[in-house]
Structure 1
Amino acid sequence: MAVDAVGADIASLILRVSVGGTLVAHGWNHAFGGGRIAGTAGWFESMGLRPGRLHALMATGTELGAGVLLLLGLLTPLAAAGAVGTMAVAFVTAHLRNGFFIFRPGQGYEYVVMIILVACGLGALGGGAVSLDRALGIADDLAGWTGLAVTALAGGVGAALLLAVYWRPGDRPQDAA
């Protein structure tokens, strides 16, 4: 049975708005909520991501940028890759050691894995009918296996490179004492 094109377009719109809006909210919170960039930088440093300010700025920019692109449906697989990369880094640095469930102390990884998988699905679905990708005539080129490959590879490789170059979990300030 073939997937109804209208249904796929509706699913893409719902996923783009939910994931894009969530990313914008997280990026906004890093920049303007609570501890702002300085607080986010300190948190990142405590997890072994150094320099913390650089990573706070990169995470904030990625969440805001990828979120807005998803909301617009512009370069959807690349925007989804931003979600995959950011959440993959969060998975490894902040959530993996806490188990699956988000309600566990320290928050488990179920949330970030769900965002990763939904973003990969969104990369495969593409921006849909209500997107700038469609308006620009590039939606069909950026969907299906190509979209999934762009999303998973760009997000996964980006996260792996960042972790390989910058993450030093044994070199946390609280471990120095």
Structure 2
Amino acid sequence: METSTDLGLLVLRLVIGGLILAHGSQKAFGAFGGMGPEGTAPLFETWGFRPGRSRVLLAAATEITGATLLVLGLLTPLGAAMILGTLLVAASVNADKGLWAVKGGYELPLLYALVAGALAFTGPGRISLDHAFGLTRSWTPVTGVVAVVVGALAAYAFIASSRRARALTPQETA
């Protein structure tokens, strides 16, 4: 029998997963007022994520896949790790502007990343495919830690490789 906790986790998964799914669809398809890969690529390149188009497609695919897993409550720790990693990269873009979104900061991507990380620990609840397939018995606090560490390390690797690539690219002169 579902509890209010299960309903709360379902709502949280649907809202966060749905928003991230739409966010990834903006990049991948130009949906929901997005710019699609061609329009987003130059922005990624200004952030040092080169080549822009392939990095946009990677980010979009990761967001769409992770969000779909969260919405379905399927392989929840994996979906959470994917979202956490991608949104930590997004947060890094505005790190120099501080926390608050009103000043262009990283508040919103950090919030998404932390909610995804929390879902790696709580699990999806009983209203999920994980529960229907009997997978929730496998999700432990260690699983949550592994998901958060994998997501954070993936973000770090992506950011570090982008910085190395930027350092090797001849700088444009004015």
Counterpart position of 1:160: 156
* Aligned amino acid, residue 148 of structure 2: A
**Residue aligned with 1:103, SS:** helix
Q: Is the 8 A contact 2:83 2:113 kept in 1?
A: yes
Q: Is the 8 A contact 1:78 1:150 kept in 2?
A: no
Counterpart position of 1:77: 77
The CA deviation string for residues 121-168 of structure 1, in whole angstroms up to 9 with x for no partner, is: 1111111101110111111212x4123213211100111111122235
Q: Is the 8 A contact 2:21 2:63 kept in 1?
A: yes
Give the 3 Å change call, closer, same or farther, for CA 175–13 of structure 1 in structure 2: farther
Q: CA deviation at 1:46?
A: 0.8
Given the alignment, which residue of 111, 133, 136 partners 1:136? Answer: 133
* Aligned amino acid, residue 148 of structure 1: G
* Aligned amino acid, residue 88 of structure 2: A
Mapping 1:11-90, distance limit 5 Å:
11-33=8-30, 34-90=34-90
Task: Single out whichever of 145-154 and 54-63 deviates more from structure 2.
Answer: 145-154
**Residue aligned with 2:118, SS:** helix
Given the alignment, which residue of 101, 116, 122 partners 2:113? Answer: 116
Q: Percent identity?
A: 38
* Aligned amino acid, residue 66 of structure 1: G
TM norm structure 2: 0.88
Mapping 1:93-108, distance limit 5 Å:
94-104=93-103, 107-108=104-105
For 2:152 and 2:120, how far apart are their aligned partners in 1?
Answer: 13
Q: CA RMSD in A?
A: 2.0
For 1:138 and 1:86, how far apart are their aligned partners in 2?
Answer: 24
**Residue aligned with 1:167, SS:** helix
Q: Is the 8 A contact 2:37 2:56 kept in 1?
A: yes
* Aligned amino acid, residue 128 of structure 1: G
Task: Single out whichever of 71-80 and 30-39 deviates more from structure 2.
Answer: 30-39
Structure 1: gaps of 5 or more residues: none
Q: Is the 8 A contact 1:45 1:172 kept in 2?
A: no
Task: Single out whichever of 27-36 and 74-83 deviates more from structure 2.
Answer: 27-36
* Aligned amino acid, residue 23 of structure 2: H
Counterpart position of 2:5: 8
